[in-house]
Structure 1
Amino acid sequence: MRISLMAVVACLLAGVLLPGPAAAAMRTARPGLAGAMTGEATPHTCEIPAIRAGSAASLKAFHRAMAGCADRFWAARFAAAGLPYSPPEVTITTGTDSVCGKITSTGAQYCPVQRTIVIRILKQDLRDPFRMNIAHSVAHEWGHHVQQLIGVLDAQNALYWPASESARSVLSHRLEMQAECFAGVFYSAALKSINPDVSWGEWIEAVGGADESEIHGKPRNLAFWQDRGYRGGATGFCNTWTAKASRVK
């Protein structure tokens, strides 16, 4: 999610069952993950460097530091839950090509088959580097990697292809909003290290006021889930799959 251009499972909760075919598909995700990862995240200190306007090298260094920070955070959360963890590959580019084809988003995307996060450095980021917005490229896409590791992406995929167009839209929103919530969980522990350009309240207000995205959903809901993860500080607050429809539109 990129503030500048768009707005900024499942059975993750132990014992939660989804109605109909959703229940069967989502039970293929690792059961009880959030039940084992519900403890509040402890403060997570990382060294995130400054960004120099006009310097692609400093932007790459920033993204690499953010990736290392996110990797250590999630590795610790998985370890605490007794679950296996493996980091994604991270590719940083100024072009539009990636290991899974053209970069369709303006800033970053996750390639699930290759388990790779692809980050595109934009001209606007070179001109006016906004730390929190740029940091979110890593935090959100790492949320998708977490979904991949616990089986959520496969479960969502099984529901997505046979679904109607309207149902696909809702499934996409639930997936993206859970990744936003996971990013919020990460921020709850690491925000101080990121040294953002804005307060948390200002950031959430900006997320809620950004442009709407067909894939991600309404900005106000993206803001709600990101803030929920931040204030809750645990993945157990991120079950978008049983949330009412109005919260994932």
Structure 2
Amino acid sequence: MKWEGNRESDNVEDRRGENDGGGNSNGGGGGFGFGGRSIGIGTIVVALLGSYVLDVNPLTLLNVLSGGSGQVSTQQTPQTPRPAADDPMSHFVRTVLADTEDTWGALFKAEGGSYVRPKLRLYTGSTDTACGPGQSASGPFYCPADQKVYLDLEFFQLMQDRFKVSSEFAEAYVIAHEVGHHVQNLLGLSEKVDRARRTQSERQANAMSVRLELQADCFAGVWAYHANLDRKILEKGDVEAALKAASAIGDDALQRQAQGHVVPDSFTHGTSEQRVRWFSRGINSGQIAQCNTFEARQL
């Protein structure tokens, strides 16, 4: 991925090494969900990666993250030294975020709207959010209540270790997916889905979550289409790496890896095939209208 020398965003909060404790904050509470809570890149990937980091049963984490009463006891991790100001990963994240700002700013303007740029907080271990406590084991997530993307860069190392995905563009796809949730929030889609889920059965609510997540994948593809069209960021193998990442975090793949079998009614983010399909749809078309997962007959 070609990104060096491009504009960097000033909307990044670098809180790495501070480890602010991740205590409850106003407007949050509970596990990672919708509306006033946060939207992560995958509830199941949360459990799988959390089990790797915390050395606990992934099914226990799934119970906790889905609102269960299971208790997980962990030891406090040592405080991480604050990185240098010229840290390459900081420059990378700032550049990718700036690229999403430029892309979505132009797309919103073309439709007569105004794009509100989200903040992105880099942190280590845990952090306070307006959606409640944030933990690195949760993977990257977006909090609609404060319009911030939260990212512990350790997730990218876990992508390499657990899923054998090593690509800057795949990492950019992760950031773009979370920004896609911000776009949904600005469009009022997150709140609408949250309201709908409250009146539905668990199976129906999960199905709505899948459509929301697949749309965020498609929005990530829309960003990539326009970023490459305007700034020629893609290099050979980049798209394939992003598709590999999308496939690796499909609900079916993660459940099969975590528990040896899949439970389709519990899917909240879509299968590997679906995630690849919708990211591909976005990056091939570059059109927001092509990302209407809520009216699609087949996901």
* Aligned-pair CA distance for 1:189: 1.7
Looking at structure 2, the residues matched to 163 and 116 of structure 1 have their Cα atoms a distance apart, in angstroms, of: 28
> AA paired with 1:188?
Y
Question: CA 1:69–1:123 in structure 2 vs 1: closer, same or farther (change >3 Å)?
Answer: closer
| Larger displacement relative to structure 2 (201-210 or 149-158) | 201-210
User: Which letter maps to 1:111?
Assistant: C
1:207 is displaced (CA, Å) by: 2.5
Q: Does 1:102 align with 2:141?
A: no
| Contiguous gaps of at least 5 residues in structure 1 | 8-53
Letter in 1 for 2:187: I
User: Given the two structures, how large is their TM-score scaled by the length of structure 1?
Assistant: 0.70
1:236 maps to 2:289: yes
Q: Matches of 2:213 and 2:125 in 1, distance apart?
A: 24
1:221 pairs with 2:251: no
Match of 2:196 in 1: 159
Q: Distance in 2 between matches of 1:117 and 1:124?
A: 15
Distance in 1 (alpha carbons) for counterparts of 2:159 and 2:203: 39
Q: Deviations over 1:111-147 (max 9, x none)?
A: 0011111111107539966312211221001101110
1:160 Cα deviation from its structure 2 partner:
0.9
Matched ranges for 1:86-165 at <5 A: 86-99=116-129, 100=131, 101-103=133-135, 106-122=138-154, 125=157, 130-165=167-202
Residues 1:63 and 2:93 aligned together: yes
Whole-angstrom distance in 2 between the partners of 1:228 and 1:220: 12
Deviation at 1:238, TM superposition (A): 0.3
The separation in 2 between residues aligned to 1:180 and 1:167, in whole angstroms, is 20
Q: What CA distance in whole angstroms lies between the structure 2 residues aligned with 1:226 and 1:167?
A: 23
Per the TM alignment, residue 64 of structure 1 is displaced from its structure 2 partner at its CA by: 1.0
Offset from partner CA, 1:6-62 (integer Å, 9 cap, x none):
89xxxxxxxxxxxxxxxxxxxxxxxxxxxxxxxxxxxxxxxxxxxxxx999211221
**Which one scores higher on RCO, CA 8 angstroms, separation ≥ 6?**
1
Give the fraction of aligned pairs with identical amino acids, expressed as a percent: 27
SS of aligned partner of 1:162: coil
- Whether the 8 Å CA contact 2:118–2:149 is kept in 1: the answer is yes
**Bigger Rg, which one:** 2
Distance in 1 (alpha carbons) for counterparts of 2:121 and 2:245:
27
Letter matched to residue 222 of structure 1: R
Q: Which runs of 5+ in 2 are unaligned?
A: 1-40, 49-82, 161-165, 255-266
How far has the Cα of 1:199 moved from its partner?
Answer: 3.8
The equivalent of 2:76 in structure 1 is: none
Secondary structure at 2:87's aligned position in 1? helix
CA RMSD of aligned residues (A): 2.9
Determine the C-alpha separation between the residues in 1 that align with 2:137 and 2:190: 18
Contact 1:130 1:197 in 2 (8 A): no
1:177 matched to 2:214? The reply is: yes
User: What is the number of equivalent residue pairs in this alignment?
Assistant: 198
Q: 1:236 to 1:168 in 2, by over 3 A?
A: same
Change (3 A) 1:123 1:201: closer
> What residue identity is the alignment partner of 2:201?
S
Distance in 2 between residues matched to 1:121 and 1:105, nearest whole Å:
11
